[in-house]
Amino acid sequence: MLKKTKHGGKDGNIIRFPDLDKRLLEKGQEYLQRENYHEAITLFQETVQLDPSNSEGCIGLILAYYGAGYHEDAVELAKVMLHEGIGNYFDIMDLYIKLLFQVRQYSEIVTLIEGLLAERTIPSDRLEHYYSMLDIARQIEQEDAAEQTDHDVFTDMEKDFQLKKYTDPQEQLILAANLAKINIQPYLNEIKSYLCSDKGMNRTETVKEDPFFKTLLLNVLMEHQVEQPVEVHKFGKTMSVIPKDLVNVNDIPELREMTNLIGGRIEHDDPILYESIKMLIHRQFFLLYPFPLEARDIAVWAAAYHVLGCEYFGNHDNKSEILEEYHVQEADFARADAFIRMIEEISYPNI
């Protein structure tokens, strides 16, 4: 089942000293903490050779594979653990699904969770967690499909170019991609009008689509180095910007500072959770762009995103611990948390 692979560093026979498996496991975990992933792989492989059912050794090997960049090996080993009943089934299933998210196998996640739900095998206390992961996987799968769609949207557009007609996120992505490639001048007035509109502020469905599409269109103007002032209206706020002078959303200092702050606390211990929280933060910054977060300590926002990211993976019990770790007061956290959840609620289904 679990054989030494090309990623291991040493060959040879293992002499079975007393408690050798425990010693190998401890040493492997030590190397894993030091991010010496290849040495950790060797030790964890030897551990599971001695005892193929050693779940700690298998999990350590999965994390070492992932840290060393052998993502497919990590996925495959988690799959083997599930099939062979090694470790707690749903703990391993959670790990397996996290890995599938990282290798972007969203259709596999959807199929897997739908099967578990159909079989009614998921414990009641984990149902919400699995429904949440299913919704996320379905949405990202739809977004990926939109990026791969290759049909022409310009025939009808040139006849009657009205941005308000583009209400489907897939059509919006395709439109923005094509606008970036053509002369923008014939469409500039319509884009500027749409960016400053507050259309649909009393219609929830339209609001959900609005900030995402507006950021796409603003990026189009940035691509074309537009120097004219443009008014942007989002979430009840308005500001004037010059697209040519805007910083790319991924280069916003607050975004980098926040992800670094969170990464310093969890990146080494739980890189998969860290990547998921980074995705959450980038998604919200994209929706808010070009508006900054409200003036508040970066640690407050980091704590709020950290808590929500944990909840998306089923952990609802560590808020107090996180607030203490970031040195954040409950009142400050509550305001940031409410804002973040508001953005998620009205905008998430469309990105």
We report the CATH number of the domain holding residue 282 as 1.10.472
Which pair of tokens denotes residue 268? 């080494």
Q: Which residue has the tokens 């291991």?
A: 8
pLDDT at 160: 61
- Is 70 exceeded by the pLDDT of residue 46? yes
Average pLDDT over residues 231-258: 92
Q: Tokens 């996120």 identify what position?
A: 169
Write down the pLDDT at residue 7.
Answer: 53
Kindly state whether residue 286 falls inside one of the protein's structural domains: yes
Distance CA 295, CA 211 (A): 20
> What is the DSSP secondary-structure string of 275-331?
HHHHHHHHHHHHHHTTSPPPS--HHHHHHHHHHHHHHHTT--S-HHHHHHHHT--HH
For residue 23, the Cα-to-chain-centroid distance in whole angstroms is 36
pLDDT on residue 347:
60
- Note whether 210 and 349 are within 8 A (CB): no
Kindly indicate the confidence band of residue 151, based on its pLDDT and cuts at 50, 70 and 90. Answer: very low
Model confidence at 18: pLDDT above 70: no
Range of the domain at 332: 250-350
pTM of the complete model:
0.55
Over residues 3-24, mean pLDDT = 56
Q: Are 44 and 61 in contact (CB under 8 A)?
A: yes
Residues 43 and 120 in one domain: yes
Same domain, 140 and 35: yes
Domain membership flag for residue 3: no
If asked whether residues 81 and 100 sit together in one domain, one would say: yes
Task: Report yes or no: 235 and 306 within 8 Å, Cβ to Cβ.
Answer: no
Q: What is d(CA 4, CA 13) in angstroms, rounded to the nearest whole number?
A: 12
As given in the structure block, the two tokens for residue 30 are 């030590």
- The verdict on residue 71 lying in a domain is yes
55: pLDDT strictly greater than 90: no
The domain boundary residue, chosen from 245, 272, 302 = 245
Greater confidence, 14 or 77?
77
Q: Is 323 found in the same domain as 231?
A: no
pLDDT value for 304: 95
Q: Are residues 124 and 159 in the same domain?
A: no
- For residues 147-170, average pLDDT: 64
d(CA 160, CA 162): 6
Q: What local confidence, expressed as pLDDT, does residue 1 receive?
A: 44
Q: Is the confidence at residue 254, as pLDDT, over 70?
A: yes
The answer to whether residue 267 scores a pLDDT higher than 60 is yes
Q: Is residue 83 part of a domain?
A: yes
**Domain boundary, last residue among 146, 181, 213:** 146
Q: Kindly state whether residues 133 and 170 are assigned to the same domain.
A: no
> Average of pLDDT values for 185-193?
90
- Asked if residue 13 is part of any domain, the answer here is no
Q: Which helix or strand (DSSP H or E) is residue 237 part of?
A: strand 237-241
CATH number of the domain at 51, please. 1.25.40.10
Asked if the model's pLDDT at residue 159 lies above 90, the reply is no
Domain end, chosen from 112, 146, 180, is at 146
Residue 225's region, left for phi above 0, alpha for psi from -120 to 50, else beta, is left
239: β partners: 232
Are residues 133 and 48 both part of a single domain? yes
Q: Is residue 79 located within the same domain as residue 139?
A: yes
305 with 233, same domain? no
Query: Percent of the chain, pLDDT > 70?
Result: 85
Residues 216, 267: one domain?
no
Q: Which residues pair with 230 in a beta bridge?
A: 241
Is there a domain that residue 98 lies in? yes
**Domains in the chain: how many in total?**
3
State the alpha helices, DSSP H only, in the chain.
20-33, 37-50, 55-68, 71-84, 89-102, 106-119, 127-148, 154-159, 169-179, 188-195, 204-223, 253-266, 271-288, 298-312, 319-326, 330-347
Same-domain pairing of 332 and 282: yes
**pLDDT, averaged across the chain:** 84
Verify that 30 and 129 share a domain, yes or no: yes
In a domain, 27, yes or no: yes
Using pLDDT thresholds of 50, 70 and 90, give the confidence band for residue 150. very low
Please name the helix (run of DSSP H) or strand (run of DSSP E) that holds residue 239, with its range, or none.
strand 237-241
> Which residues are bridge partners to 240 per DSSP?
231
Q: Is 2 among the domain residues?
A: no
